[in-house]
Amino acid sequence: MRKGKHRIPAEKATGEKRNGESSTTKNSKVEAGTGQPCGQTGIALVRGEWSSAHMLRFLCSYGFPRVKSNLVCHRARFLPCCAVSFFCSFVAVGTCKAQSAGSTPSDSASRATTIYKQGLAALQKGDLDSARAAFEKVVRLVPQSPEGYNSLGWVFLAQDDVNSAIRQFQSALKLKPDFEQAHVNLANALIRKGDLASALRESQEATRLAPGDSETHRTLGRVLDFSKDFDGAIVEFRRAIELEPQRAELHDDLGTVLMQKPDPQQAEAEFSEALRLQPNFAKALFHMGVLQYQRQSLAEAAQHLQAAAQLESSDAGAHYYFAQVLTTQNKTAAAIDELQACVKLNPNYPDAQNSLGLLLQRAGETEQAITAFRQALKLQPDNPDVHNNLGLAYLQNGDAQGAVTEFQAAIRMRPGDSGYIGNLGAAYLQVADFDAAAAKFQEALKLSPEDATLHYDLGLAWKLKDKLPEAIAELRKAAALDPGQADAHYTLGVTLWQQGDFDAAAEELRSATQAKPDYAEAYYTLGTVLKQNGDLAAAAEALREAIRLQPEFAGAHTTLAAVLRQLGDTEGAAVESRAGTDIAKQKTSEQAALFATNSGRRLLNAGDLDGAISQFRAAIQSVPAYAPAHYQLALALQRRGDKSGADQEFKKAVELDPRLKPPAP
C-alpha cells in the first residue's frame, strides 16, 4: 500500500470544484474601500467567469455616491466663494426676520458667515470633524438658512451618519423646497439607506427643478441603476454627458450601467473616454481592469488594477480584484500580498478572507489559511462553501476531526452536494473509519455516478478494508472515466501487485507515469514490481528515472542498489546504498525537526513560551537550515520581548525561505 497516498482529490483541494470562492461573490456588489456586499446584484467571479445574470455591478461607481455639494466640488459653479455668497443671502434673510422681532442680530450674522467660511476651509483640508462643528454652530446662529443645514448634512453623509444627514437635508428643504442641491444630496443619502423609492422621488424633483444640471441627471441615473431600470439609467447618464461631456466620472458611471445590460463594448468605450479625460482616474482604471479580467485579457487587467490600487491604496476592493487577476496568472505570492493588504484595510470582507485562505492553503500555509477561513465564517456563518474550505484546511493540517465537523456543517446547509459528502468521506478515511468513509462515498456516487474521483475514493476505502476485488472494480471505473487521473492507475497498480498480478500491475503503473510523467513514486513502485517479476534491466531503468525526478528518494536508491547487485554491478550498488543510507539519516533529522516545530507551535499557542522556545531550538539543532523553526522561534522570542533575538531569527528564516516574512507590526 502506498503510504500516505490518500489526499483530497486535486480538483477539490485547489478550488476547481469544491474548495472555491464564497457563494456571496456571486450575488454581491462591492463597496469601494470595503469590498463588502451591499444588497445589490454584483460581480459574479466564479472560476474566473462572470455570471450572465449578474454582470458587473460597482456600487455607486466604485463606492457610494459622491455626494453633490455646493461646498466642495471641482466644478466652477460650486467653488467655495460661490457657496459663501449663496449662504450670505440667507444670513441676510435671517437678519431681517430677527430685526422685525426687535433683536440686533448683526453680530450673529457676521459670526455665522465667518464660521461658515471656517467650515469650508476645514472641508478643503479634509477635516470633517472641524467642518461639522463649524456648520453645527452656523445652524444654531442662523436657523433659517437652508444652506447651513445642507452643508451640515453633507458632512454627516461623508462621515457615514446617514440618518443625521437625511434629517439635515430635510430641514433644508422645509426652508427652501426648490433647493435642487439638497434634493440631490437627500437622494444620495436615501440610496445609501436603501430607500430607493424615496430616492427616486427626490432625484426626479431635482431634475425637474434643474433640467440643465448634469448632476441632477447623474443622481437620477444612479437611482434608476440601483432600481435595475438600466435603460432609464442609461438615458439619464447620456443626458448628463450631453450637458457636460468633459466630466470623466459621468462616462465611468455610464460604463458601469452598460456592463449590466450587458454591452461590454460600449462600456469599454466609456471607460476609455473617462481615462482619456482623466488618465489617473482610479475608478475608471478599476472598472476597466475588471472588464478586462472578465475577457481574460490578464496583462491589461493587471496593469489597470495595479494602477487603481496604487492610486487608491486605501481601497480594499482594488486590492481584492488585482489579487484575482494575479491568482489567475498563477502569481500566488503576489496575490497573497494583495489580499493581505485588502483584509488589513477591511478585516470584515468575507470573500477576501476566503480567497486569502485558499491561496495560503495552496502555498502550504495551512495554519494561516485556517485563520482566514475562520474569519470568513465569523462574517458568514451560514456559508457552506467556507465551512467546506475550512474543513479541507483542517484535513490538510491533520485535524481530521475538525474537518468532519466543518463538512457536516456544510452538508446541513446544502444536503445534496456530492462534493461536500465526498470530502466528509475523505475525512473519515483520515481517522481510519473506513466503513463510514465508504458509506459517504457511496452516498455521493448516487448523486454523481460519473464522478471518477468518487470512484477512486471508494476504491481506496475498499482497499484499506482489504476488500481488494471491490477496490479493483472501483479503481477500474475511475481509470475508465478519467484516464488522465494518475492516482487511479497508481493505486490500481499497487492493488494488483498485492494480488500477485505483476504484469497487470506494471501496465497500470506505466499508465500512471504516462498520465503524470514526473510521478517519481510511480516509477519507484514500477521498478519494485519489475524487480520482483525478474525484469532487472527494466527495473533499473524505472528506478533511475525515479531518482532523476526525486534525487532525495532514499527508497529508490536502496532498491536500485539491490537491483544492481543482482546484475553484478557491485560498485554501482555500493554507491546507491551509501546514498540511500545518507538520505535516510537526513530524512530522520528532518522528521525530528518537523515534530519538534509542531510541538513548539502547540506550546506557543498554549502560552508556554519557555517550552516552545526549547522545542524550536531542538528543531534547529536537528536541521540548522529548517526555516519554519527559525520563524516560529522568532515569534516566540518576540512574544517574550527579546526583540534583537527575534529580529535575528526572522532574518535567518527569510534568508532560508523568502515567503516567511515577519508579521506586520
Q: Which domains does the chain have, with CATH numbers?
A: 76-244 (1.25.40.10), 591-656 (1.25.40.10)
Amino acid residing at 660: L
| pLDDT the model gives residue 56 | 25
* Alpha-carbon distance values, 8 to 376, 410, 427, 430 (Å): 22, 16, 9, 10
Nearest to 180 by CA among 166, 190, 165, 169: 169
Nearest to 400 by CA among 375, 433, 443: 433
Residues 577-613 pLDDT 10s:
999 999 988 888 888 889 999 888 888 877 788 888 9
| pLDDT the model gives residue 586 | 86
Residues 269-298 pLDDT 10s:
999 999 999 999 999 999 999 999 999 999
- Per DSSP, helices labelled H in 516-569 are 520-532, 536-549, 554-566
pLDDT at 309 over 70: yes
* Alpha-carbon distance values, 193 to 38, 63, 169, 203, 513 (Å): 10, 14, 14, 15, 60
pLDDT at 26 over 70: no
Instruction: Find the mean pLDDT for residues 297-323.
Output: 94
* Distance from C-alpha of 487 to C-alpha of 470, rounded to nearest angstrom: 17
Average pLDDT, the chain: 84
Containing H/E element for 252?
helix 248-260
* Alpha-carbon distance values, 146 to 131, 423, 452, 479, 540 (Å): 17, 63, 70, 77, 92
386 vs 108, more confident = 386
| pLDDT the model gives residue 665 | 67
- Which residues, at least 6 apart from 203, have a Cβ–Cβ distance to it below 8 Å? 183, 184, 187, 216, 219, 220, 222, 223
Whether the CB-CB separation of 560 and 527 falls below 8 Å is answered with yes
Q: How confident is the model at residue 37 (pLDDT cuts 50, 70, 90)?
A: very low
* Distance from C-alpha of 75 to C-alpha of 476, rounded to nearest angstrom: 72
Q: How confident is the model at residue 105 (pLDDT cuts 50, 70, 90)?
A: low
Q: How confident is the model at residue 106 (pLDDT cuts 50, 70, 90)?
A: low
* Distance from C-alpha of 524 to C-alpha of 509, rounded to nearest angstrom: 10
Alpha-carbon Rg for the chain, nearest whole angstrom, is 33
Length of the chain in terms of residues written = 665
Nearest to 295 by CA among 28, 55, 82: 55
| pLDDT the model gives residue 661 | 83
112 vs 89, more confident = 112
* Distance from C-alpha of 594 to C-alpha of 53, rounded to nearest angstrom: 49
Helix (H, G, I), strand (E, B) or coil at 479: helix
Whether the CB-CB separation of 61 and 252 falls below 8 Å is answered with yes
pLDDT at 325 over 90: yes
| pLDDT the model gives residue 371 | 94
Q: How confident is the model at residue 494 (pLDDT cuts 50, 70, 90)?
A: very high
| pLDDT the model gives residue 567 | 95
pLDDT at 95 over 50: no
Whether the CB-CB separation of 82 and 117 falls below 8 Å is answered with no
Which of 34-43, 278-287, 296-305, 358-367 comes out lowest in average pLDDT? 34-43
- At residue 300, φ and ψ (nearest 5 deg) are -70, -40
| pLDDT the model gives residue 467 | 94
Q: How confident is the model at residue 111 (pLDDT cuts 50, 70, 90)?
A: confident
Instruction: Find the mean pLDDT for residues 477-505.
Output: 95
* Alpha-carbon distance values, 631 to 613, 621, 654 (Å): 11, 14, 8
Helix (H, G, I), strand (E, B) or coil at 463: helix
Instruction: Find the mean pLDDT for residues 287-314.
Output: 94
pLDDT at 497 over 90: yes
Containing H/E element for 210?
none
In percent, how much of the chain has pLDDT > 70?
84
Helical packing angle, 570-605 and 627-640, nearest 10° = 20
Whether the ω angle into residue 245 lies within 30 degrees of 0, i.e. cis, is no
- Per DSSP, helices labelled H in 29-105 are 80-100
| pLDDT the model gives residue 126 | 87
In percent, how much of the chain has pLDDT > 90?
69
